[in-house]
Amino acid sequence: MSTLQVAAGGHALPAPAPAAPAGRSLWSDALLRLKHNRPAVLSAIVLGLIVLAAIVVPWISPFNYYTPQWTLLDQPPAWHGGHIFGTDDLGRDMLVRVMWGCRISLLIGMVASVVSVLIGVLWGATAGYVGGHVDSLMMRIVDILYSVPFIPFVIVLVVMFGRDLFLIFVAIGAVSWLDIARIVRGQTLSLRNKEFIEAARASGVKGPSIVVRHLVPNLLGIVVIYATLTVPSVILFEAFLSFLGLGVQAPMTSLGVLVSDGASELQSYPYLLFIPAIFLALIVYCLNYLGDGLRDVLDPKDR
């Protein structure tokens, strides 16, 4: 692997100074190694393009996602006429709708992931750092929550308390912090007896700021990996809710809504399923690959 790296990217490696070799930080080192992971780089590029298109296309397109055009129902994709992805059963432009779907799905994915990462990191780091009874109590709670059948719980929540976007964020975010909490706790346990933590404690830093200032930054690598892997699972979960009719409300749309609408008309208008399904799969696929790539470069175990 190392010979490959030198061969492939001689220009990228900084020439070491003869006297004092310039130390590379964890992050610049990781970035360098990520650049050599071709699937991860490709995934990042594709994701960037999708995000860019999702932001720009609805903005510059002459069509919007909600106005029906009764003379243009179910038009198949075509270059001329302006509807390159065709139109849906209400004559709305599919390109704009798919891009709005990407916006909403990515937004839900990111917001819910941020929620779950915040809860998970603080919970896990506190449990690991404080230790003892607090640790076993906190981890016991995580164990119990692991046994809660989450799909039914979220369905009940959404049905009983109305379907607004905020509730979906919170419900999904609250579901997916458990893995992160466990992993962060494990990492914290191995970090808490390191010298630099002891030094901080000896110089009088209080517990909470040790967690936030000294532990969390050292956990960032692993957190980045799991945050990247949480986004696709959240996007899939939102799609699942939307498929059951419990997700985003019409006329607003998400990739899950588009896919489930398309699935019902698969036989007559296959493009209504395939176009959003390809975008959904592409986003999830790229995020998973990127997460795997990040794991390879950031996880200290796999050096």
Partner 1 sequence: MLRYTIARFAGAVPTLLIIITLAFLLLHAAPGGPFDSQKQLPPAIKANVERMYHLDEPLYEQYFRYLGNILRGDFGPSYQYRDTTVNEIIRQGFPIDALIGGAALLGALLIGLPIGIFAALRRNTAWDHIPMGLSMIGISVPVFVVAPILILVFAVNLRWLPAGGWARSFPLHLILPAAALAAPYIAYVARLMRGSMVEVLNSPFILMARAKGVPERLVILRHAMKPALMPLVSFLGPAFAGVITGSIVIETIFGLPGIGRAFVDGALNRDYTLVLGVTILYGVLIVACNLLADLSYSLLDPRVRY
212 contributes a contact to partner 1 by CB under 8 A: no
Nearer residue to partner 1 within complex by CB, 215 or 297: 297
Residue closer to partner 1, measured from CB, 3 or 203: 3
Which among 15-23, 145-153, 166-174, 207-215 is the span making contact with partner 1, rule CB under 8 A? 145-153
**Contacts within 8 Å (CB) and 24+ apart, 190-193:** 191/128, 191/215, 191/218, 191/219, 192/128, 192/129, 192/131
Which of 8, 84, 263, 299 binds partner 1 (CB under 8 A)? It is: 263
**Number of C-alpha atoms within 13 angstroms, CB side, residue 263?**
13
**Is 4 a binder of partner 1 (CB under 8 A)?**
no
Q: 93 — phi, psi (to 5°)? A: -65, 125
Q: Which stretch binds partner 1 (CB under 8 A): 59-67, 81-89, 219-227, 237-245?
A: 237-245
Kindly state whether residue 153 participates in binding partner 1, applying the rule CB under 8 A.
yes
Rank residues 158 and 222 by Cβ distance to partner 1 and give the closer one. Answer: 158
Q: 228 near 237, Cβ under 8 Å?
A: no
Residue from 49, 56, 134, 159 touching partner 1 (CB under 8 A): that is 159
Looking at beta carbons only, is 117 or 236 nearer to partner 1? 236
| Residue ranges in 278-297 that form contacts with partner 1 under rule CB under 8 A | 280-282, 284-285, 288-289
Residue 251 sits at φ, ψ, to 5 deg, of -80, -5
Which C-beta is closer to partner 1: that of 193 or that of 268?
268
- 8 Å CB contact between 287 and 229: yes
Contact between 172 and partner 1 (CB under 8 A)?
Answer: no
259 binds partner 1 (CB under 8 A): yes
- Report which of 121, 83, 115, 117 is spatially closest to residue 99, judged by C-alpha positions: 83
Of 142 and 211, nearer to partner 1 (C-beta) is 142
Residues in contact with partner 1, total (CB under 8 A)? 36
Q: Which stretch binds partner 1 (CB under 8 A): 86-94, 107-115, 207-215, 252-260?
A: 252-260
Residues 6+ apart with CB under 8 A from 116: 172, 173, 174, 175, 176, 177, 180, 230, 234
Asked if the bond preceding 251 is cis, omega within 30° of 0, the reply is: yes
Select 216 or 278, whichever has its Cβ closest to partner 1. Answer: 278
Nearer to partner 1, 71 or 268 (CB): 268
Find the binding residues for partner 1 in span 21-50 (CB under 8 A). Answer: none
Q: Measured between alpha carbons, how far apart are the two ends of the chain, in Å?
A: 11
Does 156 help bind partner 1 (rule: CB under 8 A)?
Answer: yes
Shortest CB 41 distance to partner 1, Å: 15
Rg (CA), the chain: 23
Residue 8 as a binder of partner 1 (CB under 8 A): the answer is no
Residues that bind partner 1 (CB under 8 A): 143-144, 146-149, 151-153, 155-157, 159-161, 232, 236, 239-240, 243-244, 256, 259-260, 263, 266-267, 273, 277, 280-282, 284-285, 288-289
